[in-house]
Structure 1
């Protein structure tokens, strides 16, 4: 069995604007990350995925790249990134950069030259079209709302899958591909450990550019960019010309990849080391909202996905990221937010087969904010959805509720370091308001509390990476267990004749037979967590226990 280093890793995602500000301008930066490397090392992290830090006008918070080889001044200097890579390496931590290959910024020199010179080589790096009637070339809809086409001053139309300031790159052009490959290798030569690759399934287009059928009640169709036929040739070449030459890890955001195509993307010889598993994480209404039916439905999705991926390849598993709501709000009713319920969520996913990702602040139990009006949102997607919703006749109350529940701003509020003003994130005015609960929920306070959710994440990571159990938890197979209990998410991890049984109780108290099994990990401590005298395991609500079944 292949035992690649990244299968043992625990990865941590940093949203740099919101992690730590070192100079008081209200925006997180690279020196701030360097300052907190010891915090991450203490937690047990060995890979940092850093969201885009390249030069950008920040229309989409850095996912509109204006220069792929230069750090944006808001995050520091180019030398700061070199220092971060070196300082992290001293602590056994690898740096993974966010790589945006579907589009760039309209401020990128390629697009600027294409605007100025319609017949230039750079104009071929994008999808420009002319129309006789002055209307967009088709009725495709952007993922951020509105038409997927924007018009230039000279009357040309260009394609943008996301914001109009993010023109799509034309992967059909071999010179464009070579520019991207050279840039990727330049970063790998500088010591980057790998890349998280953004929206990669969108790079192949339907070159017929035919309009799609409009669903009832919709303004536009979203064209099927996702994993479009022919994309495999691009991705095979991308890997051959870049990643395969290095011991790099690649984590692809690949929405739209069908189960039948999973091995092609993340199998032993796949395009990437792993892809994010979206099959069970971000599904409205499928969660663990306290009733057995909801738990069982969520469990079913988890088990179905993991059983499939273990046959065909490797997944990145997670509860939160920069595009989603905070996991306590996503999976739990607000009156059920507690150290124990958050620990149960953490154990459920962290011990599955796959490489676990922790999003900044998740280890603190950070939760969604509550915004009273659209003026308090900063996310370009939220603003576009608001305008489009108004045009469709949706109520402001309904849209505000939805954005508060699921909007991307929820995960982007500043990291809560301590109880000082602005949660210790900045000495200036933060670019986004700090969550009002920071005096109770902050790293300094939770690190000092041995019973906190932060301490539990540290303990859980140490257990996953311990010499005794890491082989089973990194490389072992996955097997569902005890599915007759609807509120129990239980599974086995098996490796070379050894088995761990993982129990996560999202329901009422359960009494289960120990049958000679030994408890090796417990989310509860003290008298309440001990086995009963009559050989039963007394599993309390939101308790997670790991037992060894054989040696």
Structure 2
């Protein structure tokens, strides 16, 4: 079937998308690892939350050298997570509940256990099998001095002075995107999942696929100094990567409605619209709010810049405060401005100590700000519970390759990947059945007070706030226009179509409450009952009279 304007074609433009990190969401069989059946059982939670879609992080067969992003087979399910039948059942249940499904696609690299990479190692230098990856000869050492994202060199030796490229862990060899087999196989993968009912794709490190290692190559120092002309970098954000995405867009548009896609493209802001263009992936992640301090001027600037970028692309912006790669935002907002998060994690979260109450207050205010914006909001599992970072995980349990690649000097991302608490008590706080194996990452003793069960009956809980905010958003959000209003220093206010206004007080002192009917408050009663002024570090939505 074909179509580009059929029913529901633009569902993603204003959607609220909930990211599920499958190994840490819900464990149905008690083996300590989250699974697809667990996700299916917890769909009622997502319905009650009010989200429009689920983004499912990698669930493919993997040795877990990088949390599932080292993929053995891009068209199957890891046995610890389930089966293709479980996947189909989950898709059916999500669609029956009115939810879309976006899955992670990892096109920059495979795992080192992938059959094609094993064949490349066995075939030896100069073989057709090796042409599918990036192998280079280096008699005097690695072909370049480049550093990998997780630490250590980007080149791994395989003997006889030959090396393969990996921009991440050694278990993640990079594909050669000049090879037709690689392009054809990835299109086969996209069709495989689209034909099973997947509604969209999140493209991992979309800026890294194509590479040109001919001619003189820059040193690591030259790369860090950004002396390489834009679009011609040997491996990062090359202009020719968009040839790949134009071919994918044609594939996506064969479906009715067309499959959506969102790029994880960590590139200079002015380069982002190309990934989000209508003849490309259609949408690109914007991490600018995630990286911003809780500051009125900075938040407003980020919104202005990214709405301009979205218009340039003909897309909508994306907004995100947390995901599986960063310290959870209640903890970030509870730390002094300028705190080094890697150093804070290495101190087990003690130096400095986070102000949990303030961090959560700011986190809720930022979330209400985000949900009032035009565009697509991406939420990370557990943020609806106000979960803080688990900063004190001991080295012996850490799974992130950053820990080993840095020789134990950087903890990495496990603290935001600890399994969710569903119940106030029990051996895994409801993550798995009582009596099952312990969760794959240890849950702290304080998990119970953040559990879904503990918050569901509390009208002032963070869960109640998220449910109220998303429900109000569904009622109120129409169109994609936004008008900033005059406001005092430290306060940001903007009007949306339909006569309502979002006002955020970024200061610590109360200011006059905007005139009109309070529809939502990030502090106290989500309905805004009893408010006579706008407290510090609080967001309200107000319907203006007339």
- Contact persistence 1:480–1:490 (CA under 8 A): yes
List runs of 5+ in structure 1 lacking aligned partners: 289-293, 388-398, 533-537
Residue 31 of structure 1: SS of its match in structure 2?
helix
Report the counterpart of residue 545 of structure 1 in structure 2.
540
Report the counterpart of residue 14 of structure 1 in structure 2.
20
Q: Which runs of 4+ in 1 moved over 4 A?
A: 221-224, 526-532
Shift of 1:264: 2.0
Matching residue within 251, 255, 266 for 2:266: 255
Report the counterpart of residue 520 of structure 2 in structure 1.
521
Residue 448 of structure 2: SS of its match in structure 1?
coil
Matches within 5 A, 1:43-62: 43-62=49-68
Report the counterpart of residue 494 of structure 2 in structure 1.
491
Report the counterpart of residue 82 of structure 2 in structure 1.
76
Report the counterpart of residue 384 of structure 2 in structure 1.
363
Q: What do residues 98-157 of structure 1 show as CA deviations (whole Å, max 9, x unaligned)? A: 100000011111111111113544322111112233x11111221111111111144421
- Contact persistence 1:138–1:209 (CA under 8 A): no
Does 1:39 pair with 2:48? Answer: no
Report the counterpart of residue 394 of structure 1 in structure 2.
none
The 2-side partners of 1:71 and 1:509 are apart by: 51
The worse-fitting range, judged by mean Cα deviation, of 369-378 and 99-108 is 369-378
Q: 1:527 to 1:17 in 2, by over 3 A?
A: closer
The 1-side partners of 2:421 and 2:56 are apart by: 18
Q: 1:210 to 1:413 in 2, by over 3 A?
A: farther
Q: 1:550 to 1:4 in 2, by over 3 A?
A: farther
- Contact persistence 2:289–2:321 (CA under 8 A): no
Residue 201 of structure 1: SS of its match in structure 2?
coil
Matching residue within 174, 182, 187 for 2:188: 182
The 2-side partners of 1:154 and 1:74 are apart by: 37
Does 1:158 pair with 2:169? Answer: no
Report the counterpart of residue 131 of structure 1 in structure 2.
138
- Contact persistence 2:27–2:35 (CA under 8 A): yes
Give TM-score scaled by structure 2 length.
Answer: 0.86
Residue 129 of structure 1: SS of its match in structure 2?
strand
Report the counterpart of residue 152 of structure 2 in structure 1.
146
Matches within 5 A, 1:274-353: 274-282=283-291, 286-288=292-294, 294-312=295-313, 313-333=315-335, 334-335=354-355, 337=357, 340-353=361-374
Shift of 1:311: 4.5
- Contact persistence 1:266–1:315 (CA under 8 A): no
Residue 70 of structure 1: SS of its match in structure 2?
coil
Does 1:438 pair with 2:447? Answer: yes
- Contact persistence 1:181–1:242 (CA under 8 A): no
Shift of 1:522: 3.2
Q: 1:252 to 1:243 in 2, by over 3 A?
A: farther
Residue 441 of structure 2: SS of its match in structure 1?
coil
Q: What do residues 193-230 of structure 1 show as CA deviations (whole Å, max 9, x unaligned)? A: 111110010002233264424439x99x9976331132
Report the counterpart of residue 122 of structure 2 in structure 1.
116
The 2-side partners of 1:174 and 1:526 are apart by: 54
Residue 454 of structure 1: SS of its match in structure 2?
helix
Does 1:227 pair with 2:237? Answer: yes
Q: 1:79 to 1:186 in 2, by over 3 A?
A: same
Report the counterpart of residue 411 of structure 1 in structure 2.
416
Shift of 1:542: 3.0
List runs of 5+ in structure 2 lacking aligned partners: 336-353
The 1-side partners of 2:234 and 2:334 are apart by: 33
Count of aligned residue pairs for this structure pair: 508
The 1-side partners of 2:100 and 2:147 are apart by: 38
Q: 1:373 to 1:40 in 2, by over 3 A?
A: closer
Residue 102 of structure 2: SS of its match in structure 1?
strand
The 1-side partners of 2:273 and 2:306 are apart by: 13
Report the counterpart of residue 383 of structure 1 in structure 2.
404
Residue 437 of structure 1: SS of its match in structure 2?
helix
Residue 482 of structure 2: SS of its match in structure 1?
strand
Report the counterpart of residue 396 of structure 1 in structure 2.
none
Q: 1:169 to 1:366 in 2, by over 3 A?
A: same
Q: What do residues 429-449 of structure 1 show as CA deviations (whole Å, max 9, x unaligned)? A: 111111331121111110121
CA RMSD of aligned residues (A): 2.8
The 1-side partners of 2:86 and 2:393 are apart by: 38
- Contact persistence 1:226–1:255 (CA under 8 A): no
The 2-side partners of 1:319 and 1:191 are apart by: 28
Q: 1:372 to 1:413 in 2, by over 3 A?
A: closer
Report the counterpart of residue 343 of structure 2 in structure 1.
none
Does 1:503 pair with 2:473? Answer: no
Report the counterpart of residue 393 of structure 1 in structure 2.
none
The 2-side partners of 1:241 and 1:372 are apart by: 43
Does 1:85 pair with 2:106? Answer: no
Residue 103 of structure 2: SS of its match in structure 1?
strand
Shift of 1:504: 1.4
Residue 183 of structure 1: SS of its match in structure 2?
helix
Residue 546 of structure 1: SS of its match in structure 2?
strand
Q: What do residues 478-514 of structure 1 show as CA deviations (whole Å, max 9, x unaligned)? A: 233335422x2322224xxx34210112323444474
Shift of 1:295: 4.2
The 2-side partners of 1:411 and 1:505 are apart by: 27
Residue 80 of structure 2: SS of its match in structure 1?
helix
Report the counterpart of residue 535 of structure 1 in structure 2.
none
